[in-house]
Structure 1
Amino acid sequence: MRFKRLDLIRYGKFTDRRLEFPFREADFHLVIGPNEAGKSTFRTAVLDLLFGFPLRTPLDFLHAKADLLLGAAIEREGTALEFLRRKANRNTLRTPDEAPLPDGALDSWLGGAHRAFFDKMFGLDHERLVAGGNSILNAQDDVGQVLFQSASGIASLGKVRDALEAEADALWAPTKSSKRVYYAARDLYDQASSDLKNAIVRTRDWASASERVQALSERSAEHRREQSARQETRARLERLRRVIPLLHELEECERELKDLDGVALLPSDAAQVLAQAQLSLARAGQRLEIHRGELDRLNIQASALQVDDKVLSLSEDIESLDALRHRYAGHEAAIIQAEGQSALLHGELMRMAKELGWQIADPAAPDALSMLRERMPGLPLRERLGQLLREHETISLAIEAADAVHANRLADAQALDAKLKNHAAPEPGADLRSALAQAQSLGDAVLTLSRADLTVRRRREALEQSMARLGSWKRAPDALAAVVWPTPQSVAAWLAERQSCQADLKSISSRRADKAATVQRLSLSIEQFQRLHQPVTQEDVIAAREQRNAVWRSIREGGRPLAASAEAYEAKVQHADALADQRHDKAREAAEFQALEQQLEQERAAYQDILRRHEACASALEVQESAWRERSIGLALDGMALEEFSDWLARKDAALDAAGALALAQEERDALAGAHSRAKEALGRALLRHGHAIDADAELADLRTQAQVRIREADDARVLRQEWEARRVEARPMLQASEQAAKAARGRLEAWHAEWREAATRAGLAEGTSIGEAVGALQLLSGMVDRLDQLQRLRQEQIDARRGDLHGFTTRAVALCRAADLAVPDGGVDVEAAFAMSRELMRRVAQARQAQEHAAVTARAIQEEQAQLRAAEHSAAEAQAQLQPLLESSGSNDPAALALAIARSDRLRALKSKLQGVQKRLAEDSDGISRERLLAEMAEVDAARLQVDLAAIQEEMTQAQEQQNALAVELAQAEADLASIAGSDDAARAEARRQEALATMADAASRYVKVYTAARLLRWSIDRYREEKQGPVLARASDIFSKLTLGAFERLRVDFEREPMALQGQRADGRLVGIEGLSDGTRDQLYLALRLAALELHLEQSAPLPFIADDLFINYDDARAEAGLRALADLSRRTQVIFLSHHDHIEELARSVFGDELNVIRLERQAAPARGQTPFGV
Structure 2
Amino acid sequence: MRLLRLLLQAFGPFTNKVVDFSAGPNNLHLIYGPNEAGKSSALRAMTDLRFGIPVRSSDSFVHAAGDLRIGAVFLEQTGQPIGLVRRKGRGATLSRLNPETEQADPALPTDSTLERELTGGLERTEFESMFGLNHARLREGGQRLLAGEGDLGSALFEASAGTRGITALLAALDADAKKLYSPHGRAQNAVINEARRQIEEQRQVLRQALTKPADWQVLNRAYEMAKTTLDEITQALETLRRYENDLTELRTVEPLLREHDRLATELQSLANIPNLAENARQERLTAQQSLARVQQDLREAEQELKRCSSALAALALEPLVLQHADTIERWLSEVPVVSRHHIEVQQQAVAIEQIASRLAILVERIVPGMGLSEILQAIPSDADRRMLDMHVAEEGRLKERFQASQQQAVTLDQALQEEADAVPVSVAPIARQSLSLTIRHAQSLGDVIRRKADLDRQVRDLESQFAIALSDLSSDSEQALRSTHPILDAQITLTKQELLEVQEQQKVAGDEYQRVERDLDEQRIRYRQLAAEGEIVTSDTLRSARLRRDQGWALIRQVYIERTQDAEGLVREFDAERALPEAFEAAEHEADRQADLLRADAKRAAGFEECSMRIEQMETRRSQLQQHMDTLAARRCQILTGWGQQLCAAGLPDIAPEPLHEWQRRRHDALQLAEQVETLRAESASLIEQAGEAASRIVNALRTLGQSVEERVIGDLKSLTVLIEQGLNWEKSAIQMEAEQSARAKTVKQLQVERDKLHRSIGEMTTELDRHRSALQQWEARLALPAHSTPDAVKARLNELDELARLHSKLIEAQERKALLQAELDELTQQGRQIAVLLGEAAPVALTSFADGLRKRLIVAREREQEREVLLRDRNRAQEKKRIAESVQVAQEAVCSRLCTAAETTTIDLLPELEDAAARKREVKKKLAFVQDQLARASSHSEEELRRRLAGRDAFALDRERDHCRAEIERRDQELAAAQQTEQHARLALNAVDASDRAAVAREAIESAAARYRSAIRPWARLKLAHVLLQEALNRFRERAQAPMITAASSYFSLMTGGAYERLVTDESGDRPVLCAQRAGGTRIRIEEMSEGTGDQLYLALRLAALELRRSSHPQMPLVLDDVLITSDNDRAANVLRALSQFSDGGQVMIFTHHEHLIEVARLALGEQGFTLHTL
TM-score by length of 2: 0.53
Distance 1:916 1:264, change over 3 A: same
Q: What CA distance in whole angstroms lies between the structure 2 residues aligned with 1:1088 and 1:266?
A: 112
Equivalent in 1140, 1144, 1148 of residue 1132 of structure 1 = 1144
| SS of 2:272 mapped into structure 1 | coil
Alignment of 1:782-797 (within 5 A): none
Distance 1:236 1:891, change over 3 A: same
Q: What CA RMSD, in Å, does the superposition of the two structures yield over aligned residues?
A: 8.6
Distance 1:507 1:1094, change over 3 A: farther
Equivalent in 898, 905, 927 of residue 885 of structure 1 = 898
Amino acid at match of 1:295: L
Distance 1:911 1:976, change over 3 A: same
Alignment of 1:807-818 (within 5 A): 813=836, 817=840
Q: Which residue of 2 aligns with 1:312?
A: 319
* CA drift at 1:90: 9.2
Q: What CA distance in whole angstroms lies between the structure 2 residues aligned with 1:722 and 1:1117?
A: 41
Say yes or no: does 1:156 pair with 2:197.
no
Distance 1:64 1:223, change over 3 A: farther
Q: What CA distance in whole angstroms lies between the structure 2 residues aligned with 1:103 and 1:883?
A: 120
**Contact 1:91 1:103 (8 Å CA) reproduced:** no
Say yes or no: does 1:290 pair with 2:305.
no
**Contact 2:335 2:828 (8 Å CA) reproduced:** yes
| SS of 1:832 mapped into structure 2 | coil
Distance 1:250 1:453, change over 3 A: same
Distance 1:511 1:504, change over 3 A: farther
Q: Which residue of 1 aligns with 2:256?
A: 246
Q: Which residue of 2 aligns with 1:656?
A: 692
Distance 1:301 1:71, change over 3 A: same
Alignment of 1:69-468 (within 5 A): 74-77=72-75, 79=81, 108-123=117-132, 125-128=138-141, 131=144, 151-153=160-162, 156=166, 218-302=228-312, 304-305=313-314, 312=319, 316=323, 320=327, 439-441=424-426, 466=448
Q: Which residue of 1 aligns with 2:939?
A: 926
Q: What CA distance in whole angstroms lies between the structure 2 residues aligned with 1:888 and 1:32?
A: 116
Distance 1:384 1:94, change over 3 A: farther
Q: What CA distance in whole angstroms lies between the structure 1 residues aligned with 2:1067 and 2:813?
A: 126
Amino acid at match of 1:1133: D
| SS of 2:909 mapped into structure 1 | helix
**Contact 1:352 1:780 (8 Å CA) reproduced:** yes
Instruction: Describe the superposition over 1:204-256 as per-residue Cα deviations: whole angstroms up to 9, x where unpaired.
Output: 99998887776666555434422321231232233234333433433332233
Q: Which residue of 2 aligns with 1:586?
A: none
* CA drift at 1:645: 0.9
Alignment of 1:530-679 (within 5 A): 607=648, 610=651, 642=678, 644-660=680-696, 662-664=698-700, 666-668=702-704, 670=706
Distance 1:211 1:1145, change over 3 A: farther
Instruction: Describe the superposition over 1:315-340 as per-residue Cα deviations: whole angstroms up to 9, x where unpaired.
Output: 64697579668868988997999799
Equivalent in 1111, 1126, 1133 of residue 1099 of structure 1 = 1111
* CA drift at 1:120: 3.5
| SS of 2:845 mapped into structure 1 | helix
Amino acid at match of 2:840: C
Q: What CA distance in whole angstroms lies between the structure 2 residues aligned with 1:1048 and 1:808?
A: 112
* CA drift at 1:850: 6.2
Q: Which residue of 2 aligns with 1:378?
A: none
| SS of 1:441 mapped into structure 2 | coil
Q: What CA distance in whole angstroms lies between the structure 2 residues aligned with 1:348 and 1:601?
A: 148
Amino acid at match of 1:76: F
* CA drift at 1:898: 0.7
Instruction: Describe the superposition over 1:784-811 as per-residue Cα deviations: whole angstroms up to 9, x where unpaired.
Output: 999999999989x888997798689658
Q: What CA distance in whole angstroms lies between the structure 2 residues aligned with 1:1117 and 1:805?
A: 92
Q: What CA distance in whole angstroms lies between the structure 2 residues aligned with 1:134 and 1:337?
A: 98
* CA drift at 1:925: 1.9
| SS of 1:887 mapped into structure 2 | helix
Q: Which residue of 2 aligns with 1:966?
A: 981
- What percent identity do the matched residue pairs reach? 19
| SS of 2:278 mapped into structure 1 | coil
**Contact 1:349 1:787 (8 Å CA) reproduced:** yes
**Contact 2:1053 2:1063 (8 Å CA) reproduced:** no
Between the two proteins, the alignment pairs up a number of residues equal to 897
Distance 1:1011 1:606, change over 3 A: same
Say yes or no: does 1:909 pair with 2:922.
yes
Q: What CA distance in whole angstroms lies between the structure 2 residues aligned with 1:1075 and 1:343?
A: 106
Q: Which residue of 2 aligns with 1:955?
A: 970
**Contact 1:193 1:994 (8 Å CA) reproduced:** no
Range 465-474 or range 1089-1098, more displaced: 465-474
Alignment of 1:812-891 (within 5 A): 813=836, 817=840, 831-832=844-845, 857-891=870-904
**Contact 1:234 1:953 (8 Å CA) reproduced:** no
**Contact 2:219 2:989 (8 Å CA) reproduced:** yes
Amino acid at match of 1:962: A
Alignment of 1:453-532 (within 5 A): 466=448, 505=480
| SS of 1:76 mapped into structure 2 | strand
Q: What CA distance in whole angstroms lies between the structure 2 residues aligned with 1:89 and 1:159?
A: 36
* CA drift at 1:312: 2.8
* CA drift at 1:928: 4.6
Distance 1:76 1:961, change over 3 A: farther
Q: What CA distance in whole angstroms lies between the structure 2 residues aligned with 1:73 and 1:281?
A: 113
* CA drift at 1:199: 10
TM-score by length of 1: 0.53
Amino acid at match of 2:123: H
Amino acid at match of 2:886: E
Instruction: Describe the superposition over 1:82-124 as per-residue Cα deviations: whole angstroms up to 9, x where unpaired.
Output: 87887x9999999999999999996542122103322443346
Q: Which residue of 2 aligns with 1:541?
A: none
Instruction: Describe the superposition over 1:527-584 as per-residue Cα deviations: whole angstroms up to 9, x where unpaired.
Output: xxxxxxxxxxxxxxxxxxxxxxxxxxxxxxxxxxxxxxxxxxxxxxxxxxxxxxxxxx
Q: What CA distance in whole angstroms lies between the structure 2 residues aligned with 1:801 and 1:671?
A: 110
Amino acid at match of 1:260: L
Distance 1:965 1:390, change over 3 A: closer
Q: What CA distance in whole angstroms lies between the structure 2 residues aligned with 1:36 and 1:727?
A: 44
Instruction: Describe the superposition over 1:979-1022 as per-residue Cα deviations: whole angstroms up to 9, x where unpaired.
Output: 859xx9999x9999999899889878887997898789879978
* CA drift at 1:646: 3.6
| SS of 2:840 mapped into structure 1 | helix
Please list every run of 5 or more consecutive structure 2 residues that lacks an aligned counterpart in the other structure.
364-370, 407-412, 457-468, 488-629, 656-669, 710-735, 783-799
Q: Which residue of 2 aligns with 1:27?
A: 27
Distance 1:1041 1:73, change over 3 A: farther
Q: What CA distance in whole angstroms lies between the structure 1 residues aligned with 2:426 and 2:1053?
A: 39
Q: What CA distance in whole angstroms lies between the structure 2 residues aligned with 1:172 and 1:832?
A: 130
Please list every run of 5 or more consecutive structure 1 residues that lacks an aligned counterpart in the other structure.
357-380, 417-424, 475-495, 513-588, 615-624, 633-639, 674-700, 750-775, 819-823, 1163-1176
**Contact 1:30 1:1138 (8 Å CA) reproduced:** yes
| SS of 1:291 mapped into structure 2 | helix
Distance 1:211 1:35, change over 3 A: farther
